[in-house]
Structure 1
């Protein structure tokens, strides 16, 4: 297994281009299964989770062609139905969290699907109920075999219906939308997720011939159509990478320009970082962050400690809470981090405490960070990346720390961040793969 060796404390400088959005990629690449015509997708990130999904589609019989470094064409003319009962499918699908996204398109087009229990991050329970309850509402029947952890779903007669989702799950909404676009009749989905990536999926499906209205809201109306055609689609830049780079600049006192961020799609993210005291300018569609010696956390109007909590869009994305927590360790002031969605995502703070951070882990969902105002530098240590977002947070901490850090299990980081060591080297970081 590989690791990163980092010598921290060096200011960085330069421009960095965010990759295409990982979470959008997993949705729109799965959507190519809805048509036998060619679909071309650009700005695809070169990361393990996305590459595994593309490989999985190829094993299923989808014709895939890499047209450029970030562009693929897909044509799902003939799907091998026997593949879904194979050991190869169980192994590949079970090792990829995003594999659940192929179920909706397969149900819509073929009336049946099978999927192993997906793997992925160790950040707590990530229920699939929203997906399957939505499929059931559309007329699907499913069975879960606990002995081999396999789901079998039958949907030979999908029909439109009114669906009230029990949670505004992004992947759950996307999966039900993809199943509903070819169902008979009209489907309404209330309490639907409305993240920019879900909006992107709906716009892409409409270009393919779907009839989806209510995009950007939490009430989607879908009129079923008989078939979909091909299209071209470009992914948004990854908002989680953009937030990570803002945090990187603040922690390392660096002057960094993040290029082509699609600022209008970032929602509350820039304002949240501004409340942590981080200065930035919007230059065209680039975010410029000047080198900052100090940054001070805001308080609520009554002077009480600021709370940063995750919430469904347009609230703050849970994927950036780990970054906010790390940034706060070197800010002036205190903040309460409230991670509502995943009960294991804050457990990486023990590594930050070992580095010298002042953090109180209140319970699995809440941590209070007492900012050190950079008066006490974090110190380099050896650590392990537990998941994608915590891994990058620890990487940012290491780049700001005094001395040498070693981060192992970097495969977790590389599931979500393409060529991260090469891009950091270009900014002047002292990082190498060992």
Structure 2
């Protein structure tokens, strides 16, 4: 009848099955625990790595005397290092000390002596023999005891009469990721034989202001050639100020200028840009190619590419105002670096090898106020761009006035 299968043999088989299941569960539970611990370790390492990046960004602001923004960067760096405690290496500990040191002095310069003292004491827990910070602690305590220091004066953003749109600028740059509307994509030849065999890949970003992104406008090899040509000539970027050009803390970058005779790659790029726009890019109708490098924290606060005053140095070229801009992204960035259009309320992410085009002037010759734009701070990585500014003169029959005087 086969009843033996229902006796001890079945129990042994059932017990064996249960034991097998239990045995399978044990290593899986242990593996899960080990995996979770590895994931926590990686998370802590990621936080420490992000903390190092935030520290470098804060030091850039600190070095320019912008204590308002150095505090914002360094506070986040210290927070990340505290979260990653237990998985530091020597570099992380050194970076935390740098962050605490710079943050304490930033608070001191901002007038918050009490917090500067607290941070300096935290620093000394890691480096108790640091005589300079020990002297700072004694100085801060004396200031608080005598009432010379203000103690906890609230941090104030620096006033900026030059920039009325800082809030919008910072809000755009702080968005997690720039988003495009994808209004439409097309292959464009612009009636040029040069583009017949390889049309430009156009993505319409906005119609007002007119902003278009051309994907794969250059190759990796061309981008590297342009960066290599510009590298030895990079100098601190300047801006137009009245009738002069001078360095400004709101533009943190290095730049160099390349003539079209500098290399066959530059010549080919000039021909491609002329075909794309249908405009005359020969001197003096356009400026030489400007190559710009933004390192960590590098940025360019809101500005117009076209001149807003007849005293601008741009008019010395005697070729009119800047009618259009072509900006080519020569590199990718890990985070940040978007091009933000302030009044139009949108931003364009860095797209390696793509070219961004917009009209600075309306057809009637007036500046388009919606083209106020900014280069957001680079949060991680290295940003390279090449700018081509095209002027009014020489374009009279290529972009003529319309029948509408307001256009």
TM-score by length of 2: 0.28
Q: Which of the two has greater helix per residue? A: 2
Greater RCO (Cα-Cα under 8 Å, separation 6 or more): 1
TM-score by length of 1: 0.27
